[in-house]
Structure 1
Amino acid sequence: MRPFNVAVIGYGFAGRCFHSYLVGLAPGLKLHGIASRDPQTRERIVRDRHCIAYEGLDDVLKDDAVDLVVLASPSAVHCEQAVAALDAGKHVVTDKIMCLNLEECDQMLAAAERNKKLLAVFQNRRWDGDYLTVKHLMQSGELGTVRWMELAWQGFGAWGGWRGAAEMGGGRFFDLGAHLVDQLLTLQNSPAETVYCRLRRDYDASDIDSEALIVVTFANGATGIADLSGMSAISKPRFRVHGSRATFVKYGLDPQEKAMIAGDIDSAVETPESYGTLHDGKSERQITTLPGRWRSFYENVTEHLAGNAPIAVTLESSRAGMQVIDAALKSAATGEVVRL
């Protein structure tokens, strides 16, 4: 069986360091081409990636050899590009955030359904080591019943490029909020019921969000908080999870991204100094972080396309995340709690 040919749309940070790299590591996938509007970038693509350099999405969709289109483009064009690719008979993986609102999400889902093609969202942080560790602690019962969890991702300063423009879907709310909302929903595995959000835009030279706080309540009585900041020089814990038996606290980010940018994702190792701690009210102990594995996303895509496995990031879960994001935007605009 020949490998599935993949074309990546966009060769910025996500297309270069994430998608084209990880596709190249997945057995059963072949990096067939990359699209860029910039002639110099296309020269670099041919030289560095040894694949076809397309001028744009239209050229990719005309290529019958392409099986799977990966959208590493600005978030604001994901819906339009995904629908066009699906209608052209291609499978699609889109970088997160999937799109900008629930209406766009439903358009994408309808296109996947009518064309009977795969549509999957790149939620690589379901394979972060810290997320997998929290999931294990919840499933093993060490935390007890978890009814409160806080996830934070913070930094200092506005982003540049298209991620620094609100009209393109830039800002931490969309980019990182997509990860944290997805992690909250998949860890709780209970329907979200209400959403409240506060957004701030305090940068002098940028219209993207500087602060975002999303509060989600679940049908099982749990509360999840996603705290995003571009004006925090001192970070909060990445995970703070309160259970009836213990509390788990974990700082820092998964090491895979730095290792991947350096060219060897398999060298990513978290040091003991970064391990989280489990507190039971009397004592605390260090919890070794489980190894993360971003490779698993595209390996699962390959297995699914070959008919050997269900897709891990389901459309049902992706739509649930977009429903929360959509409700959060409405809440931020009105100042009211939105009931789903």
Structure 2
Amino acid sequence: MNNGVEPVKIGIIGLGRAGYGMHCKELRDKTNLFQITAGCDPIVSRMETLSQEFGSKSYERIEDLVNDSNVELVDIASRSNDHFTHGMMALEAGKDIVLEKPMTLNVQEAEKLVETALKKGKNIYVRHNRRYDPDFLHVMELINSGILGEIHSIKLSRHSYNRRNDWQTLKEFGGGQLLNWGPHIIDHALCLLQSPIIHIWSHLDQILAAGDAEDHLKVILTGENGRIADIEISGAVALPSPTYQINGSKGSLSLIGKEIRLKRLHPDVQFQPIHADPETPPQIGNFNNVEELKWVEEVIPVSPAIQYDFWDELYRSIRFRESFRIQISEAMDVVKVISQVRRNTRFES
């Protein structure tokens, strides 16, 4: 893909589950696009593992990594509460940055990062990589095809049952479901709503997890266009709901695992005008409007017509200045929703 253009030299801050377990795993097959030249982590053995595999330099201090002239892009995969500080250090050193979600803990931090990037002429990329998930892409295709008619309600669920007890359960580190799964699912909701938000309702709770951060949340977003997005993320649900449930004027879809179930009106169905009847209905019988409706029901595998890759698009943006699919304004919108959801709750930072 790089057409003879050299790989982007990347330095990774944080070599844990995200930095090493996800980012490095995804980059192993993209050595023609990205070269991991440096790593920084408080655990020395992690840096040694990275160096042995990729030939990267190891830095005990983040200041040294961001000032390495052989690092073009700083990949920030440290704990959530460090994203702002580490991002600022990299931007001030004149480096582009890619931020693991959440972008920051609050709107003020996000605005300061964007302000600094503009001043320095640098770019911020936020890793909302779930925007590239095949199931999300396929659902978007079906909505945009119009086969479900006018979309009126959307339900997004991420359920598990887990008595979690790591740092992701502690507010001081940016823990909790709202900053873990939340950025991904809120980003999905904003894309699916296809409208500015006019109202937000939320409920946060701690049910099973250790620590002091929420492990169960419900958020309802109302779009200016009338669509409703109902988001539920929980570590305390033993029987999970469909990942996606989309309802429109001509049918519905639900997605569980890798299958999409569709029930939609046959294209031949044409609604005839109906009028409300003020008379008293019969004592026995159907109280509903009786009309023949022809349905199409099918189960299809998740298989979007077009798929994208986060790192491929990131490379094209850096090397060829192509527009990146995840705009910084969209990442900022996610942070704004998260901040409003947490406001005036016991889980507010």
Shorter-chain TM band? 0.7 to 0.9
Q: Structure 2-normalised TM-score? A: 0.85
**CA distance in 1 between partners of 2:145 and 2:305 (Å):** 18
C-alpha contact (below 8 Å) 2:14/2:41 kept by paired residues? yes
**CA distance in 2 between partners of 1:131 and 1:204 (Å):** 28
* Aligned with 1:10 (options 14, 17, 30): 14
1:313 aligns with 2:321: no
C-alpha contact (below 8 Å) 1:68/1:90 kept by paired residues? yes
Deviation track 1:144-179 (CA, whole Å, cap 9, x = no partner) reads 111210100011123343212221111211110110
**CA distance in 2 between partners of 1:117 and 1:328 (Å):** 30
Q: State the match for 2:260 in structure 1.
A: 276
Q: Structure 1-normalised TM-score? A: 0.87
Change (3 A) 1:138 1:294: closer
**CA distance in 1 between partners of 2:11 and 2:214 (Å):** 32
Q: State the match for 1:70 in structure 2.
A: 75
One-letter amino acid matched to 1:92 = I
C-alpha contact (below 8 Å) 1:197/1:331 kept by paired residues? no
Q: State the match for 2:138 in structure 1.
A: 133
CA shift, 1:204, in A, is 6.6
Q: State the match for 1:226 in structure 2.
A: 231
Deviation track 1:125-149 (CA, whole Å, cap 9, x = no partner) reads 1111110111000111111111210
User: Gaps spanning 5+ residues in structure 1: where?
Assistant: 253-273, 335-340
* Aligned with 1:58 (options 54, 57, 63): 63
One-letter amino acid matched to 2:10 = V
* Aligned with 2:24 (options 16, 20, 23): 20
**CA distance in 2 between partners of 1:167 and 1:135 (Å):** 36
1:301 aligns with 2:342: no
**CA distance in 2 between partners of 1:243 and 1:189 (Å):** 14
**CA distance in 2 between partners of 1:56 and 1:180 (Å):** 34
Q: CA RMSD in A?
A: 2.0
**CA distance in 2 between partners of 1:296 and 1:204 (Å):** 33
**CA distance in 1 between partners of 2:9 and 2:82 (Å):** 22
SS of 2:172's partner is: helix
Change (3 A) 1:280 1:332: farther
1:212 aligns with 2:217: yes
Change (3 A) 1:65 1:49: closer
One-letter amino acid matched to 2:310 = F
SS of 1:280's partner is: strand
Identity %: 25
One-letter amino acid matched to 1:155 = S
**CA distance in 2 between partners of 1:127 and 1:302 (Å):** 15
1:116 aligns with 2:100: no
C-alpha contact (below 8 Å) 1:32/1:51 kept by paired residues? yes
**CA distance in 2 between partners of 1:309 and 1:24 (Å):** 23
Q: State the match for 2:282 in structure 1.
A: none
In our comparison, the structure showing a higher alpha carbon Rg is: 2
SS of 2:74's partner is: strand
Change (3 A) 1:34 1:304: same
Deviation track 1:318-337 (CA, whole Å, cap 9, x = no partner) reads 11111111111116469xxx
More helix by share: 1
SS of 2:211's partner is: coil
> What is the aligned length?
313
Deviation track 1:273-325 (CA, whole Å, cap 9, x = no partner) reads x3110112634201221259997111111111113411111111111111111
C-alpha contact (below 8 Å) 2:193/2:228 kept by paired residues? no
The structure 1 segments of at least 4 consecutive aligned residues displaced by more than 6 Å after TM superposition are: 292-295
Structure 1 stretch 184-193 or stretch 281-290: which is displaced more? 281-290
* Aligned with 1:152 (options 145, 150, 157): 157
C-alpha contact (below 8 Å) 2:165/2:210 kept by paired residues? no
One-letter amino acid matched to 1:275 = E
